Structure formats: structure tokens, C-alpha cells
A and B are shown apart, each in its own frame.
Chain A
């Protein structure tokens, strides 16, 4: 702890440890599966489709019902309310399949048994007769028919076609971008307890308790006030529990209400990975016109996404891919289009970055193409095309980029990472090294902060002070490991100037703060920090008024100092002061509310200010590639990232380091592989390879930009940090590409598509050598 002397512990901007750290390490942090099981608990498992697309001709559940330990079996016909959990209410996502299945792994029925093992075994016993239907499994297969799960978006500014027509140089290409499984360590889980009348309480590992509440209510056909949803913590989420918890929660609630017994749904890891959605994979078609210096003149890109069988969040995800197709670069004339394609695969969903990373990869591919075309270093092309000033500051969605943060960060990092000196060293190494080749890349990130669905940008909090001076804090944000709870507690501690240990952090529950938004879009602390601050300030204002009257001093002579309240010349310890306020019948409880200012978005026109502000960063990565096998190692990474005035530098550092490595996994070893029947074959850590400890960069220099406050009025002028660092890992892909390019003397753009598995790297090396030899 680096607390200021005489100051409170856990003040804002101090590197406070995670509030649950001491419990995590001792095995005392309680996750839902760790809660004592109520007597009579039923364990629920899904029977799932083996077919990617088929009509269900017959469903024989008799063997399931007859299996050992089985208490009940449920199908769609048993659902009293709506058989739909579409988060955007498009009515395209049945909880349990009815007449047809739309992807391999789709739940058809749920079986409840005495033990989980019994439920799991029974779930395999159904006899399902399928009549196969034509299945579109890939983007390529879906593109010709062009069936979409939601309305596409087009952003247009200027005349891209005309600009490319007049540009001295132009080129076209295609980029394939892989998806990603969240691989949260704690899988999906829900535990439902039946209550009186129509009431039910659901413990759900969810980023979005209010949505779970609505989904449970509409499934059971009860009002929302009958449903309470609570979550203390998740064992990781990363977007994978924004909507994907709905299925498990509504079925747990259904079983609990139907049987009158507590019900728990917890799929095995493999089933979790098969049933739940992932990061969208994309196919990007691009055309870019530029001048001989490499300055972009016109851009036309189409982002086709494999959305899966239902819309889920694919609309906003694909929208956000377009919002980030520019990254930090000004496109004078631009046309960007999304194609949210319907496929017979799992319904893809939110994942840290929410389409932004894929959008950004497309923009960075343009930079790389131009660099090879003009035989310049990609860093020069990047700097040449940065936003600003004046008329070169307008994004494709007409929001202006007013600050020069990207340029400042790039130039600082360019120096601190010794970019140009290492570029020379690497060229020299590559010319003498026969097998191993090194590569270097420096890429920036600009990420827009706010939900693009404007109404989501609201938050509530509830603060009580008990008469002993202890504080109870609650808000709508959820804790998935990102440190939101401790950050918001720091805000409250700071407001009252009390040690953070006096602030009790409590589980998120729909019963205390209603109508909350998902903890997502990196906006958790921006929104909930402000709401908690508002609640604290309401109470503070009452206390100041009380003190002014009781002590007969002007309000401006009352101050909350560390652990005490200064009233005129007198210091009163906080707890004693609160006791006095209670005796004077002062309300010591308040809600707080916040809505993000300034934002607006007209999707039909493709214009507005969808983002409150931008978060920035840049990374310089160096890799070494084995040209015989395609294997590689990330040798060194230097990061400079902008978090504004950090609420908690330790937590923010964790988000940067962790986000980077997660992004690196997405772009390198994490490969989702479906067979020709539409079965996902990489559905466990034995086959789906997220980075291990030894994959982290050998040298990892991470710094935050110091002393730069957010120019917008955010909570203590901090900046969101959840998602942006993931995209710093794009530098690894480009460094790999740079190393690969060396085998053809940097004459050809490698067009190395992610995930750059060793196989993909070797393929690209071989292709480049063949093309270079032919040229």
C-alpha cells in the first residue's frame, strides 16, 4: 500500500489491492458453485442438438425420464411465459428448441436429477429424430444468400469511390479474422431458489443482473418484481456473461418454480464452450486509395461477420467494428458497411472490445498494405495518417477527434522502445540468421468509450451509513475480477474521507439497485463510480446542513477530513459525527444516479457522437519466428497506455497487462475449429490454447501515461480501461507479419491473417517465398 501519510487508506488514485484478494488466495472467496447447497437441490443438465440445422421429427424422452435419479424433464412446452431470451427482444432465440435446431449444441430439453452426474448421464439418453436441413456454417457459405440476423450498418462520409478513382495508387484485398472463446475460468452457472407465490431468487454468474431478471420474469410470466437476481463475483466474464448467462438462469428458475426445489445449472467446460457464443469471426473486404507518400485518400471496407443462428448482440457488435475501422487514422473519403450474417453455428456475442478489435485489425491491415506498396516502414505510414488537425479530425461517424493523444503516445513510445535502433538491429539479425527471423511493430489504439445504445449509459447506486459509522455500498456494476468493486469503494471512501475498510462492498442485486445496465463497454467505473459519488454527495450534503445547524457554523467551514469532520474549529471523529446525525434524525441512506452526458447517435444517418471520449494506447512488440516450423516467441513488448487520472493504478495495470495477453492469445494460438458437420472441435483447454505463463512476453515493459487527466468530466477524470488494452496486442500480429515479410526481403505484404498459429505463419512464409521466387 502506498497511502499518503495522514491520509485515508484506499483513497482514489492509490494502488489499492483487490478487495477480495485475501479471499481469492485462501480459497475463501465464494463463487456460486461454492455456496452451501440447499436440501433437495436439483441439478439440471441440457440435452443438446447433434445437428447444425435440422427439423426435429421426433423427440423421445422416455429413457431420460427413466434414468436413475431423474426428477423431471422439461421442454419448451413447459415454459409458462415466452420461450425467448433474445437480449434485443427480436424473438429469435428460443430457450429450448421447438420444431427445429439451428446449431450443433443447441439445447432441446433440460433434465433435473438428484446429482449432477445423474443429470449429465440422463441428458445423453434422449432419442431425437432429425430431418437435416441445409446448413450455412461459414461466412463464405452464408454470404451468397446474405441472410442477416439484424440490420446492417453503413457509414459514409465523402465519396470513397471517387476518391479511389482519382488516387495515384490503390489496392484491394481480403482479411480473415478468427473468433475467440472467452475461456472465463469459472464456467456458466445459475442457482435458483423458489420463493413464496410467484417469487424466485436467482444467483447467476452474470454481467447483467437486470437482464437476467427480465428474462426470468418473461420466461415464468411473472412481473419483474417477483424476481431477484444476485451476483457477488464472477470467475471471469470478458463479455461472455453479458447475455450468455440468460439460458442457464432462466432454466434454473423454471425448474425451481416447477418443482418447488432449488435448482442449479452448471455445464461441464466442454458443454459450456459448445453451447455459448464467442467473439465474432469476420471476413473483411477492403479497398484503399492513397498517394505516393502513403497518405490515405479513400477507403471502402465491408465487414462480414459470422453471427451464428440468432442476433444476440451482433447488431451493436458489428456496428462497433465499423466505429473502429479507422483506429487512429483519418479517412478523407470513406464507406464502411457491416454484414451481420446468419449461420448455423453458435450465436456469437460480446467479447472484450465488442467488434472494435476486429474493426481495428482491418484499419491496421490497410496501413500495412500501404507500407509495403510504398516501401516505407509501417510506423511512418501510421504517423502520416493520424487524425488532426482541423478538417482531418472527423471520424467516419462524424464525431471529431479533438486531442493529439495518439500522436503523443506513439512518439513517446517510439523513443522509449528504441524503435528505429531495434529496426536496424533486427534487419542485421535477419540477414545473418538462417532459420530464426525477428519482427517488430508499433501499433496504436483508439477506443471509443460509451455504450452505442445510448439508453444503456445510465447507472444507479445505493449508499447507507449505519449509526456506528460503517458504510454499506451497493451499485449496479458487477465484479468479474476487473476491480470495479474496489474502485467504486475508493470513490465512496474518498467522498467521506474514511478508510476504505469502513466501506462494506456488497453483492450486486436487482433488489437494491434496479434497471441497471450490463457491466460492459469498459464503462463500469465511469458509470457506477459516478452514481456512487452522487449517492455519497447527497448524504454528505444532508450531513453538512445538519452540522451547520447543530454546530451553528457556516457550511463552508465544514469539511470531511481523513477519519473526521471539521466543523468550524472542531474535529469530530467520523463515527461519532454519524451517531450525532442519527440522533438528529438525519437520513443516512441515499440512492445515486448518473447518465453519461453529451452522447447521441442517429444510426439511420450514421451520424452523431456515440462516444463520450476516447481511450488511447500504443504497443511495440518484437517477436522471433522459426521459419522451418512457423513457431514463434514474443520477445519484448513495450506499452504506453492512457488511463487518465487512474482511480487505482494497480488495478489498471492489471487490466493493461491482462488485456494485452488475452488479445495476444486471440491473434496467435487461440483457434476455433469446426468440422464439416458444424461441430466445434476445440471445446476445452486441451484443444483450445489460451496463452500460458511461458507465452507472456519475455520482456514486458508496461507504463501508464502520467499526469494526463480525462478532458471529459469522468469520475476523478479517470478513463475506462477494461477493453482498450486488448487491442494493444495487434502489435504482436504485425510483428509476426514483419518477421515473415523478411523471407521475401520485405517486398511482399504477407497478409498474415489471425489467428497466426504456427501453421498459419509457416503457410504464409511458404507462400511469400513462392511468390517472391516467381516474381
Chain B
């Protein structure tokens, strides 16, 4: 047991022995460190004004990740280096090439979002060493809202910065030192800190995690805190005990096994998307769109499942793909088809003391057409009105098997059983699909809210079946506005 959170602020060690378990990194920076360059725009991880870079030791090297300081708890920095906008300029106060490019290209107007953009661009320079195309820049900046510039000058800066050798900075020069400092911070101890009788745990092994969850069944389990963060900042909840799973290597495991792709509960969207996209290209694209880079760097598929929101985007895709959910309670493990986990709104098949350990996604069977479509007001970083996921396995011209699930259409992510029944065994024709579209209201009676009306949800859900048919039967018809306009899979 270690009763301190330890991390590097730039190159300075920080050791926090008493800290509010849900104090955000943003509040820590602004109120404790007096580093006010990082701004609060929304306090919910949606505007990016608070973007900072979290640097982790991964496979002996440094991994730079943009994250939203406003919804990350300070304890999640344990073992990491934290870089803020103040840390980019050289010690003799010269602007960093990223900053200089932003100035040169008139990338700031009111300037309030600017530190966040700078940090997202800085992170981009650590991931690609040449100017990426517009789509990649858009993606890198999808979590940074600017209300003044219309983005065009910032995109110019994103290209311009590569003319200024953006990696030749003091941060790079000190990497060896940073690596050894972070190595010195790494250990297998469970972190436990407390303030005002509220506790933060960060176990380092899955066994320690299992024991903690068993000992504290009412604890709030946190992975990326992209949702739990808002419970704190918006609903003003104050969980007494927080257990952070991000230090457990076994939960961060991503492996290909005989059963399929094994995704540990703490694998981030960023890591999962790349692996899933190899077998299910649309999963990669949906994950790209469901959250910005900072959200994907923190948020996890496991958290998205465990949280069981009816508008979570991963569950319908995993249901359609036939994934299996693995739960653990102490030393006991059990597995279930993932759709069985979602019982009702706010109710899951998770026992006291149990936690999600991993998800196994099978490789698609021969002849399977898999598609996932996310419908939202805005393409990037928006919560879905409807998410449709489809796995249709054809034998010749006949549907041998159909697994179809929707999000946003019911109190839980749910399969479209009537539609599946209509399709299964039928010829894969537009007439069949249109008949299935008529059946869809038997499966779903969606609600009206600010994201969409019930009518739109139903109509779009039906039309997505038609989109699926067109894409699988007539590859020459254009159906896509964003992402890979050329559909990469059959």
C-alpha cells in the first residue's frame, strides 16, 4: 500500500498524500498549482479548453496523450507526467513551434480555447512526424471547440507547425530523464489516499482490484472517467470511495486469441479502435466519431459497457458482433453473451463486488456483412440519436444469420428480434429489407428528446437497414458523407 499519489509536473516531482478523490486535474492545476493557462470552458470534456497532455511509460517509451483535465481526477495521474500549455515554451521563453505556428497563422482570436488547441496540436506532433491530411487534423481537433475562427486558420497552423520542426523542443531533449523519473515512480503497490474520509484507490494488479471491489462493493469504479467525471462536475455527486482501474496492466491487455479479440476493461477507445477496425472497419469509424481524441485516450470500451447507457455506442456494435462479456468477483469469473448484461434502464447483470474484466469479440464468420452507423446532429464528438449495428451472414443469396442491434431506440441497447426473424432464411433482396423495415416498430418504440424525435429515430433506424442493403448489394452507390467514403469492407 502506498499512501501517496506521485507524478511529474513537467519535470518536477509531485507527491500528494491527502487529496480529494474526485478533485479534477483542472481544479488542481488552477487552484493548487496556480497554473491558469489551462481553461475551463464546459467542465464536461466537450469543449477542449482544458486539454493537457498526459505522458505515460508504455513499453519502455513515452506515450503522449491529450486528455481533458476537467474530467480527469488528479489520482489518475499517478505514475505519469503532466504537461500543460505553460510547459511548452522554452525556459528562455521562446514560443514552441506549435505555438509559433498558431501565432503565424492567426489561429487565435479570443484566445480562450487556444491553450487547448495548442495542447491537442502538440500531442499530434508526438504521434505523426509529418503534416497529416485535413481529415486527420479534423480528427485530432474534434474535441476542441472554437467559436471565433471557424477553424480554418487553426488547420493552417496544424500544417505550418511541421515546417518549424515541432519535435525539436526541450520536452524531447529531456525524454531520457523523464523515462527514468517515471520508471522510478512505477511500482506494484496499491495507491490509497484519503481526504475527509473519502478514499481513492488505484490498484496495480487485477487481484488487488478484485479484492478492493469485493471489500468496497459500493465504490465507484473509474476507468476513463469520461462519464463519472460528469457525475462529479455536473451532478455534484461525491462518491465516498473511488477505485481507479487504469494502473492494472492485465485490464489494459489487448490480445488476439482463438476466441477472438480480447479487450481488457481498461483498454482505451484509442487502442481498441485500431484493433477492432481490422475486423470491423465500421467499429473503428464509429469509435472515432463517438468521442474526440482526448475522450478516446481516456474512455474505455469496458466502461462504456459497464455503464450500460442506452445511448452508449459500443454495446450495440458488440451485440451485433456476438461479443462475450467476462465478469469477475473476487477469484470467481463468469461470462455471458454481452446482450444479456443489459437488463433494463440503469439495471445490469452485475453482482455486488463484481467488475467487468474483459470483452471478447469474435472474428466475423465467413460471409458476414458487418456495418455500424452512428446518427447524430454533428458528426464528431456527439451522442447518438440512433446507433444501428448489423451483422448479416449470407449463404449465397440467402440470409443465414442476422444479428441486429440498436442504441438510442430503447431503455437498453437491444437486438431487433422481429427484424432478424424477418431476414433470417429470406432472400437478401430489397423487398425483404423493406418488409423488415415495416417490422422494426415491433422491436422499438423510441422516445422523443432533445437529440431526436421518436419519429426520426424510427424512420432513420428503418432507413439504416436500407443503407445496409444498398451498401452490400450495390457497391457503386455512394452512401457515405464522412469517414472512408470508399467502403473498405464487403
Contacts and interface: CB of A to CB of B under 8 A. Distances in A.
Interface of A: 15, 17-18, 20-31, 33-34, 120-121, 124, 182-187, 233-238, 268-270, 433-436, 480-483, 624, 626, 628-633, 650-651, 653-654, 657-662, 669, 671, 673, 681-682, 684-687, 689-696, 698, 700, 702, 757-759, 762-763, 766
Contacts of B380: 692-695
Contact of A685 (B46, B102, B139, B141): B46
A177 to B, nearest CB: 18
B152 A700 contact: yes
A694 B147 contact: no
Contact of A660 (B89, B139, B150): B150
Interface stretch (B173-181, B244-252, B474-482): B474-482
Given A18-B109, A24-B114, A269-B47, 12 more contacts: A17-B103, A26-B88, A26-B99, A27-B85, A182-B147, A183-B145, A185-B145, A482-B148, A626-B479, A628-B466, A654-B149, A693-B380
B114 A25 contact: yes
Given A629-B375, A693-B151, A759 B467 contact: no
B415 interface: no
A185 B233 CA distance: 17
A25 B147 contact: no
A198 B377 CA distance: 51
Contact of A694 (B37, B98, B379, B477): B379
Interface string B452-481: 110010011001101100100000011101
A692 B479 CA distance: 22
B211 interface: no
Contacts of B137: 693
Interface string B223-240: 000000000011010000
Nearest to A20: B111
Nearest to A238: B147
A741 B161 CA distance: 43
B447 to A, nearest CB: 12
Given A17-B106, A481-B111, A31 B85 contact: no
Most chain B CB inside 10 Å of its own CB: which residue of A20, A235, A681: A235
B85 A26 contact: yes
Q: Which of B39, B147, B381, B453 has the most CB of A within 10 A?
A: B147
Nearest to B139: A694
A696 B152 contact: yes
B463 A629 contact: yes
Nearest to A699: B134
Given A33-B40, A186-B39, A685-B145, A695 B379 contact: yes
A653 B109 CA distance: 11
Contacts of B149: 654, 657-658, 661
Contacts of A120: 236
Contact of A436 (B114, B450, B481): B481
A760 B49 CA distance: 31
A684 B46 contact: yes
A27 B36 contact: yes
Contacts of A673: 449-450
Given A657-B153, A693-B155, A184 B138 contact: no
A295 to B, nearest CB: 36
The residue among A236, A480, A630, A763 with the most chain B CB atoms within 10 A of its own CB is A236
23 contacts: A17-B103, A18-B111, A25-B114, A26-B88, A27-B85, A31-B112, A185-B147, A186-B39, A235-B112, A269-B43, A480-B110, A630-B460, A631-B375, A650-B106, A654-B153, A657-B149, A673-B449, A681-B449, A685-B46, A693-B137, A693-B144, A694-B482, A700-B152
B378 interface: yes
B150 A694 contact: no
Contacts of B379: 631, 633, 692, 694-695
B103 A22 contact: yes
A124 B382 CA distance: 29
B300 interface: no
Contacts of B146: 185, 693
Given A21-B106, A26-B85, A624-B481, A682 B43 contact: no
A270 B459 contact: no
From A27, A30, A33, A238, residue with most partner B Cβ within 10 Å: A27
B109 A658 contact: yes
A433 B138 CA distance: 27
A496 B429 CA distance: 78
B38 interface: yes
B467 A628 contact: yes
A692 B39 CA distance: 18
Contact of B110 (A481, A624, A626, A671): A481
Given A26-B37, A694-B138, A762 B378 contact: no
Interface string B76-95: 00000000111011000001
A23 B111 contact: yes
Interface of B: 30, 35-44, 46-47, 49, 84-86, 88-89, 95, 98-100, 102-104, 106-115, 118, 134-135, 137-139, 141-142, 144-155, 233-234, 236, 373, 375-383, 385, 449-453, 456, 459-460, 463-464, 466-467, 470, 477-479, 481-482
A758 B375 CA distance: 9
A465 B92 CA distance: 31
B285 to A, nearest CB: 13
Contacts of A20: 108, 111
B478 A26 contact: no
Nearest to A30: B36
Closest CB pairs A-B (n = 5): A27-B37, A481-B110, A235-B112, A24-B111, A661-B150
Nearest to A682: B450
A362 B453 CA distance: 26
B452 to A, nearest CB: 6
A651 B148 CA distance: 11
A235 B466 contact: no
B262 to A, nearest CB: 31
Contacts of A658: 109, 147-150
Given A34-B36, A481-B109, A757 B377 contact: yes
B44 A685 contact: yes
A748 to B, nearest CB: 20
A204 to B, nearest CB: 16
A762 B467 CA distance: 14
Contact of A633 (B47, B84, B481): B481
Contacts of B46: 684-686
A368 to B, nearest CB: 24
B328 to A, nearest CB: 31
Nearest to B99: A25
Contacts of B376: 689
Given A657-B149, A696-B151, A696-B152, A631 B481 contact: yes
A25 B43 contact: no
A47 to B, nearest CB: 14
A183 B85 CA distance: 23
A332 B37 CA distance: 56
Contacts of A185: 39, 41, 47, 49, 110, 112-113, 145-147
A690 B106 contact: no
Given A120-B236, A185-B112, A681-B449, A671 B377 contact: yes
A433 B478 contact: yes
B291 to A, nearest CB: 11
A235 B110 CA distance: 5
